[in-house]
A and B are shown apart, each in its own frame.
Chain A
Amino acid sequence: MIIWAIAKTTVGDALRKKVLQVFLVVAIALIVLSLSFSQTLEFSSRNGISADFMLLKSFGLGMMALAGIFISLILGVSLIPAEFERRTIYTILAKPVKRYEFVCGKFLGALMTLGITTGLMGVTFILTIVAKAIAAQHLGAGPTVAALQTQSTTGAESVAIFDWNMVWGVVMNYLQFMMLSSVVLLFSLIFTPTVNFFMGAAVYMVGFMSSIVQSLGNAEGASAFLKGLFTAVYYVLPQFDRFNVSNQLLHPETQITNMGFYTLWWGAYGLIYVLITLVVAILIFERKEV
């Protein structure tokens, strides 16, 4: 009950942050506007996907990721430090509230806020694609409709207005926001908000290149120290690139063979990573003076 009460308050507080509202509104506006950008492209088909749809999906997913990352950073950076700054933490922790309940409540609130913002961006993104598909069908644009054709289990072709793969893309985006906000929450107990913002951004960038970091860890000719360093970075930092599925969604030739297993595997990785980060944050907060 206490965790839920703190989480609800966190959501109410977070959604009133002007900077968060600006990022959200701009992202949603740009996703909607991408509909008009795509009209300027010719219907050139590549692997069954028309260029206008490629642009819509690529831009939409990219915009969602960019806005989501900034929102995660802004939210995570101020989640607990703002409580110190405004001194609201004193009256809360003077009540029979265990410190882990406070941290969990704040983090759950952040996840709910990210869920709402990602949900709004995701719904806008999917509706934009649906609108484009309906418009294309009415106009009878060949390649566009072809792009929406999916192979049913019986082998017969059917036209799908709603593409479930896009939902998958949104969910994978949400998982990486979750991981990033947990890292930033942990850092917020150690660093100042400004340092934390840049540290969080750096972690995201390195984590986004985890495959390259892994290759560097296995590179021949590199010193044992460097190999060890890159391997450690690869395992310690979140592997954000595993959650960036734009390529798989846009290029059928790079499709994952077993999407269900991939989602479960990396979903579990994300949740375990968040759990470990949260436990470390709680252990630090237990000894933190307020």
Chain B
Amino acid sequence: MSVAEAIVVDGLCKEYKGRLGDRVMAVNNISFSVQEGEIFGFIGPNGAGKTTTIKMLLGLLFPTAGKAMVLGQPAGDIEAKERISYLPESPYFYEHMTGAECLDFYCQLFRMGSAARKTKVAELLERVGLSKDGKRALRQYSKGMLQRVGIAQALINDPDLLFFDEPTSGLDPIAHKDIQDLILSLRQQGKTVFLSSHQLSDVEHVCNRVAIINRGELVKIGTMDELLHAGRTIVTLSNVGDELMAEIKPLASHVAVDADLTRFYVEADEDVHKAIEAARGKATLVSVVPQRQTLEDLFVEIVREGRK
């Protein structure tokens, strides 16, 4: 049975015109899809086009070219919006309202009746740990508390698809952990989450698949295993003679000598075997340590590559 696609993006472009008539390609011909039930990470440096892409998927911005489908409907479709939710980066609310009034307002946008709203607001405040602060004005809330209100408003309609834009930005470790747990619980419930974040460890921890965007272009996409393939291996030998050094050095991308230990950083698995074979009987094999690339390594590499 094939899994349905929650999001399909096909050749999406967004071009802005500058004041001097210059054109800036914020998003350039990106295509990808997100399966239902997937936690999809969308990462990139500042100004890469992440928020622009999310806004196009929500129908807040209109693409210059290409198309996007969300839950089987064109992006921005009202019917689809009944089943999706959005938590923007540092959400802002009407400060004169209390937490409960604010959530009641958002419930009304889903055409909920008075009794249903009352129950829902109490339930949401409980869920995000703000039951005792529901009657306080939002202007008295801390950033973490406002983020909790943001999460609560994103859960009103029990959405099938959630867009989280930098949900942990500027939060303390406790609030950060709460959001991470929330995303994991959403995964267990089979919800689809589109997570844009700078917290690469979060993305690596919770996401099934990741797309990396840089300068408006989709650079890489895949599962963690596909993206973070076994990287280089460090082959450490002792008592390496000149002849052996000359034999192994061409196989390594980098060689580090520390007293009688020599570390060879070898990229390809095949070259690792060749190095070990060459060392047999000529030096002492101390260790062979495969290094798995982290998402951060990959991200930094891609961003640096893009700057060249």
Residues of A participating in the B interface, judged by any CB pair closer than 8 Å: 1-2, 4-5, 9, 12-13, 16, 86-88, 90-98, 287, 289-290
Contact = CB atoms under 8 A, between A and B. Distances in A.
Contact of B85 (A4, A16, A94): A94
A94 B55 CA distance: 9
Interface residues of B, number: 30
Contact of A91 (B78, B82, B88, B108): B88
17 contacts: A2-B109, A2-B111, A9-B94, A9-B105, A87-B90, A87-B91, A87-B92, A93-B58, A94-B163, A95-B109, A96-B81, A96-B109, A98-B78, A287-B62, A289-B61, A289-B62, A290-B55
Contact of A12 (B58, B61, B97): B97
B79 to A, nearest CB: 8
B272 interface: no
A112 B151 CA distance: 31
Contacts of A287: 62
Most chain B CB inside 10 Å of its own CB: which residue of A88, A90, A97: A90
A13 B59 CA distance: 26
Given A90-B60, A91-B93, A289-B61, 12 more contacts: A13-B94, A16-B96, A87-B88, A88-B93, A94-B81, A94-B84, A94-B85, A94-B163, A95-B81, A95-B110, A96-B82, A98-B78
Contacts of B81: 94-97
A8 B90 CA distance: 24
Given A1-B111, A97-B109, A289-B61, A91 B153 contact: yes
A88 B106 contact: no
B86 interface: yes
Given A92-B109, A96-B82, A13 B96 contact: yes
B97 A91 contact: no
Given A87-B92, A287-B62, A289-B62, A94 B78 contact: no
Contacts of A98: 78
B60 A5 contact: no
A91 B111 contact: no
> Which 5 pairs show the lowest CB-CB distances between chains A and B?
A5-B108, A94-B86, A95-B109, A96-B81, A87-B92
B286 to A, nearest CB: 56
Contacts of A95: 81, 106, 109-110
Contacts of A94: 58, 60, 81, 84-86, 163
A18 to B, nearest CB: 12
A96 B110 contact: yes
B266 to A, nearest CB: 49
B86 A91 contact: yes
Interface string B225-237: 0000000000000
A90 B86 contact: yes
A246 B91 CA distance: 48
Nearest to B153: A91
A207 B79 CA distance: 43
Nearest to B58: A94
Interface string B118-137: 00000000000000000000
Contact of B106 (A13, A16, A91, A290): A91
B61 A290 contact: yes
A96 to B, nearest CB: 4
A93 B82 CA distance: 11
Contacts of A86: 92
A94 B90 CA distance: 15
A9 B78 CA distance: 22
A5 B110 CA distance: 11
Contacts of B59: 93
A96 B108 CA distance: 10
A151 to B, nearest CB: 50
Nearest to A12: B96
Contacts of B58: 93-94
Contacts of A289: 60-62
Given A2-B111, A5-B108, A97-B109, A91 B94 contact: no
A258 B62 CA distance: 53
B94 A88 contact: yes
Nearest to B90: A87
A88 B58 CA distance: 15
Nearest to B62: A289
A289 to B, nearest CB: 5
B103 to A, nearest CB: 11
Most chain B CB inside 10 Å of its own CB: which residue of A16, A86, A91, A94: A94
A230 to B, nearest CB: 35
Contacts of B108: 1-2, 4-5
A202 B42 CA distance: 48
Contacts of B79: 96
Nearest to A8: B105
A12 B94 contact: yes
B194 to A, nearest CB: 12
Nearest to B107: A5
B157 to A, nearest CB: 8
Most chain A CB inside 10 Å of its own CB: which residue of B58, B92, B96, B97: B92
